[in-house]
Amino acid sequence: MKTVGGATIILSLVVCSHAQAGVAETTLFAVQTGWYNSNGLRSFGNYLAGDGVGSNYHNFSVFDLSSITLPIQSATLMLFNGSAPPNPGDGYTSPDPFETYALFDVSTDIGLLTSSGGPGVYDDLAVGTFFGSVDVTPADNGTFVEIYLNADSIAALNSATGLFAFGGAITTISHPVNVDESVFGFSNDSSDVRLVVTIPEPMTLVLLGTFGLGAGRRRR
């Protein structure tokens, strides 16, 4: 409150809570991608998911979170779904109009996931805490498929340190195993998988802390 020329003026500071105000966006590129299939095979780089001829594939992507030191507010996982050209075929292959791709937490040790694997990895990539899903269609060939991550995923990201893995699977398989129902076919580059996160800008944290709304480091 301030008096100017006999008039009383009330001064106030408003901290904006708009979703886009006071946040910064950071893009992380996957440090490793790959798949495990129902026949006990694995591959790194390619991140195919769904039914191929004679086998079902679950994929994974790994990110290094060590550069993110402030609380993550929201996040989106982006996977490129290739199409010829430049790839030799379509990323989406299915007789159905869409397939649902879902994300899950990964309990397998990341060192094993990205090297020797082991029993149970294939199943692990498609069970556990659900992180989000998206319906993929033929129109998504040649584009990035975006999965908006849910609150459980944000909580897991904020409690993690270092490397973090997502498991992925098609949850709408409805044909015999010899019929293709797959996404991300012919993929071969981990840099085509990205995690986009929003975090508070440092000045926003200072303002929030000043007004007792709470702010702090995401991890120590």
The predicted pLDDT at position 217 comes to 41
**Using CA atoms, how far apart are residues 41 and 49, in angstroms rounded to an integer?**
13
Q: What percent of the chain has pLDDT over 70?
A: 82
**Using CA atoms, how far apart are residues 116 and 100, in angstroms rounded to an integer?**
29
Q: Tell me the CA distances in angstroms from 209 to 72, 155, 206, 213, 216, one per residue in order.
A: 17, 21, 5, 6, 8
Average pLDDT, stretch 202-218? 47
Contact 149, 74 (CB under 8 A): yes
The better pLDDT of the pair 95, 6 is held by 95
The predicted pLDDT at position 83 comes to 86
Average pLDDT, stretch 11-21? 35
Burial classification of residue 181, based on how many CB atoms lie within 10 Å of its CB (0-12 exposed, 13-18 middle, 19 or more buried): buried
Grade residue 202 by pLDDT with cuts at 50, 70 and 90: low
Average pLDDT, the chain: 84
- 204 has a pLDDT exceeding 50: no
- Spatial neighbors of 106 by CB under 8 A, at least 6 apart, are 60, 113, 124, 125, 128, 165, 166, 167
- 177 has a pLDDT exceeding 80: no
Cα of first residue to Cα of last residue in the chain, in angstroms, is 40
The better pLDDT of the pair 136, 212 is held by 136
The predicted pLDDT at position 118 comes to 81
Is 34 in a helix, a strand, or coil? strand
CATH fold for the domain made of 24-201: Jelly Rolls (2.60.120)
The predicted pLDDT at position 49 comes to 97
pLDDT tens sequence across 45-87: 999 999 987 899 999 999 999 999 999 999 999 999 988 777 7
- Spatial neighbors of 20 by CB under 8 A, at least 6 apart, are none
Average pLDDT, stretch 93-107? 96
Q: What is the pTM of this model?
A: 0.82
From the CA atom positions of the chain, what is the Rg in Å?
22
The predicted pLDDT at position 203 comes to 54
Q: 131: which 2 tokens?
A: 């992180």
Burial classification of residue 6, based on how many CB atoms lie within 10 Å of its CB (0-12 exposed, 13-18 middle, 19 or more buried): exposed
- 146 has a pLDDT exceeding 80: yes
Q: Which of 19-23, 115-119, 142-146, 210-214 has the highest mean pLDDT?
A: 142-146
The predicted pLDDT at position 101 comes to 98
**Residue 185 DSSP one-character state:** T
* Secondary structure, 3-state, 82-104: CCCCCCCCCCCECCCCCEEEEEE
The predicted pLDDT at position 201 comes to 82
**Using CA atoms, how far apart are residues 164 and 46, in angstroms rounded to an integer?**
18
Average pLDDT, stretch 134-144? 95
The kind and range of the H/E element at 155 are helix 151-159
